[in-house]
Copies of this chain bind each other. A is one copy, B any other.
């Protein structure tokens, strides 16, 4: 385990529960096919990028939610809305961020994302 991995894991815990972080370390869905992917996500995405200073945790979560919704990526929309809530965004802030996207990406992708958000909020 490198320092970048440790720093990444520490940063990740701002976005997921202890339980989920532990699960991410113990179990890798791509362990056979691409065991390096998880390492890269923790080291690069969380260790190098998310852990930077100059932008607070909630704003980083907002940026990521916005980007995956703009791309229309449904599985990531669910994941990052969950992480955004854990990072301190309120349900209201997430809903407002999604509505704010209407003039920039149109209704369809916003509507799909709001249905996902509603499902996450209900869990």
A17 beta carbon closer than 8 Å to chain B: no
A36 beta carbon closer than 8 Å to chain B: yes
Question: Which bucket holds chain A's interface residue count?
Answer: 35 or more
Q: How far is the CB of A65 from chain B (nearest CB, A)?
A: 9
Q: How far is the CB of A77 from chain B (nearest CB, A)?
A: 10
Cβ contacts under 8 Å, A99 to chain B: 34, 36-37, 40, 49, 52
Contact in complex: B62, A103 (CB < 8 Å): no
Select which of B48, B52, B67, B101 is within 8 A of A101 by beta carbon.
B67
Contact in complex: A96, B62 (CB < 8 Å): no
A114 beta carbon closer than 8 Å to chain B: yes
Cα(A100)–Cα(B34), bound, Å = 12
Besides the known contacts A66-B70, A106-B106, 10 further A-B residue pairs in the complex with CB atoms under 8 A apart:
A29-B115, A33-B95, A34-B99, A52-B100, A55-B92, A63-B66, A63-B97, A66-B67, A70-B71, A71-B104
The 3 closest A-B pairs by CB, nearest first: A55-B96, A45-B103, A33-B118
